[in-house]
Structure 1
Amino acid sequence: MSNGALVVLFPIAVAIIMLGLGLTLTLEDFRRVVRYPKAMVVCLVSQMLILPAICLGLVVLFDLRPELAIGMMLLAASPGGSTASLYSHLFKGDLALNISLTAVNSVLALFTLPVIVNLSVAGFLGSDSSLGLQFDKVIQVFAVVLIPIAIGMAIRARFTGFATRMERPVKILSVVVLLLLIGSVISGLGKEIIDTLPQIIVVVVAFNLFSMLIGYFGPRLLRVGERESIASAFEIGLHNASLTIAIAMSPALLDNPKMAIPSVTYGFVMFFTAAIFGLLVSRRVRAATEPTGRPVTADRA
């Protein structure tokens, strides 16, 4: 596939996913943030500070190649996405909180992601590298993420019934787009991915598990409710692999397919680790339910 086609393909793929996210959001999702102060603080601190620090520790500990290290840091800086909401719904998380966390994280990531990526490129490849998200590239990421979200929110506000009916199909489409992006990387880097997998798989799995555990137990330590903690775990534990693959591979952005390998690996791994994690924590929700089926009152997040 030519560079010209890739320049068009990857932004469109991300725009579709972000549009789907926008269809699930309302202004109330942002206003609702003040109702969950503990969960919100834990999630944002984890997303913006703790996870990048843990990821940096892992890539240094396992001495990953620069391209793979930058790819991991790109993944750590990305927000959650529709997959996080889907798993939260399946495993009895507080979906309203999850959607609010995704909304806030998606906006904040527009500012924190370029900073983390540029610092990573400078640290692992040297400050004279031509890679990184310079200002014009940051604007492109901002446009391809924020504009589709805004359009999706506008559609939901104007055509609520249509947006509601489209939520499930768009979530499925988002997963399909992710698989197509993964397939495009594999088709171009098949042998290299196989050779690299032993180096990256442990780091990817460890990062994924650490993310979910921090997202779950951090709120629990602050006496946040079980369902809110599950939502937090999936929000900061399931990163937007589609976005990071597109940023890594797009000729207009990082233009380095090797940096997409961690996200490709993560895109496969997270479906299984999240399902196992969800089965384990959802049992705690059932255990905290009264015989009448009413949830036991817990401290409000």
Structure 2
Amino acid sequence: MIQAMGSALTTIGLPVALGIIMFGLGLSLTPGDFARVARYPKAVIVALACQLVLLPAIAFGLVVLFGLPPVLAVGMMLLAASPGGTTANLYSHLFRGDVALNITLTAINSVLAVFTLPLITNLAIQYFLPGDDGLGLQFAKTVEVFVIVLVPVVLGMLVRWWKAGFADRMDKPVRIASVVILAVVIVGAIVSNLELLLANFGILAGITVLFCVLSLTVGYVAPRLLRVDRRQSVACSFEIGIHNATLAIVIAQTVVGSIEMSLPAAVYGVLMFFVALGFGFLIRGRGTAAESAAGSAAGSSVDAPAERRPTS
């Protein structure tokens, strides 16, 4: 009975939880968040290139390196194709990133995911499961992805446009509701699939942690190498490094119809919080040290002329 309840929570609750999360995202968005691309063109282009090109390549390399079974391999690629979630905004705020840039990237990624997520998932299925015609995101299922991802966001934006004050008042309650519902659903999903999860946790823990570390590192280092300022690089790091695991789980279980395919996202969704927290403290420490060194250098350059001033 407990397993049946857990299954029902997963089937019904996960899409509902994701819908509330995406609706909450829409409540915080305005058309200006999309227009902001013109203010941060380099940061946006670098972040999107990392998100859409580098991360799927990294995930593919890790899948081959770890020798994952085919269904789990597709699940990893589905996770890599998932956009950043609203959690990225929270981490960016905690570690002094440019949250406005995060919001812009989340908005753009949510739109692009409607096209890129089915494409990457289908390519992964063709490569790892070439003889399985039952899986895949054909046109009808791609429409489901569109409904799951974009419709709640658009509704939230319409509410903000129509009643901005109401949207502001509802922002916090919607966030709290989404966290509570999601927590209940995740517990239900774990209970209903405990044996399957435990059987695969060992093989998935290492690859998901490494993927998270590499995603965060690429998201921070690539912009810095291309002279994007530090606050924007922190924002890019969390946007690229923190994937929307809930979206990947919903697509795997309710759209593709494979619980096993959702396991990489489920394991990642638990471990990612700790990895991202540690990474945040690491780059914050480096940023503080760099700022102190810059301050000392500036102080020395100001004092130097005084030392060379001739005495009468």
TM-score higher than 0.5 here? yes
Q: CA deviation at 1:259?
A: 1.0
Instruction: Tell me: CA distance 1:284–1:167, structure 2 relative to 1, closer, same or farther (3 Å).
Output: farther
The number of residue pairs the alignment matches comes to 291
Structure 1 range deviating more: 181-190 or 98-107: 181-190
Q: CA deviation at 1:289?
A: 5.5
Q: CA deviation at 1:81?
A: 1.1
What code does the residue aligned with 2:51 have?
Answer: Q
- What do residues 212-258 of structure 1 show as CA deviations (whole Å, max 9, x unaligned)? 000001110111111100100000100001111111111xx111111
In structure 1, C-alpha distance between the alignment counterparts of 2:132 and 2:61, rounded to whole Å: 24
Q: CA deviation at 1:41?
A: 1.1
% same residue = 51
Instruction: Tell me: CA distance 1:263–1:6, structure 2 relative to 1, closer, same or farther (3 Å).
Output: closer
Q: Counterpart in 1 of 2:103?
A: 99
Q: Counterpart in 2 of 1:259?
A: 261
Q: CA deviation at 1:127?
A: 4.3
- Note if 1:206 corresponds to 2:210: yes
Alignment of 1:19-58 (within 5 A): 19-58=23-62
- What do residues 255-289 of structure 1 show as CA deviations (whole Å, max 9, x unaligned)? 11111111111111111111111112223444565
In structure 2, C-alpha distance between the alignment counterparts of 1:8 and 1:198, rounded to whole Å: 28
Question: Which runs of 5 or more residues in structure 1 are unaligned?
Answer: 297-301
In structure 1, C-alpha distance between the alignment counterparts of 2:57 and 2:182, rounded to whole Å: 26
1:121/1:127 contact within 8 Å kept: no
1:74/1:244 contact within 8 Å kept: yes
What code does the residue aligned with 1:154 have?
Answer: L
- Note if 1:247 corresponds to 2:245: no
- What do residues 66-89 of structure 1 show as CA deviations (whole Å, max 9, x unaligned)? 111111111000001111111111
Structure 1 range deviating more: 113-122 or 178-187: 178-187
- Which has the larger Rg? 2
What code does the residue aligned with 2:78 have?
Answer: L
Q: Counterpart in 1 of 2:276?
A: 274
Q: CA deviation at 1:175?
A: 3.3
Q: Counterpart in 2 of 1:126?
A: 130
Question: Which runs of 5 or more residues in structure 2 are unaligned?
Answer: 299-312
The TM-score, its normalising length taken from structure 1, stands at 0.90
In structure 2, C-alpha distance between the alignment counterparts of 1:166 and 1:19, rounded to whole Å: 11
In structure 1, C-alpha distance between the alignment counterparts of 2:34 and 2:271, rounded to whole Å: 30
Of 85, 92, 100, 1:88 maps to 92
In structure 2, C-alpha distance between the alignment counterparts of 1:69 and 1:179, rounded to whole Å: 26
Instruction: Tell me: CA distance 1:5–1:174, structure 2 relative to 1, closer, same or farther (3 Å).
Output: closer
What code does the residue aligned with 2:269 have?
Answer: G
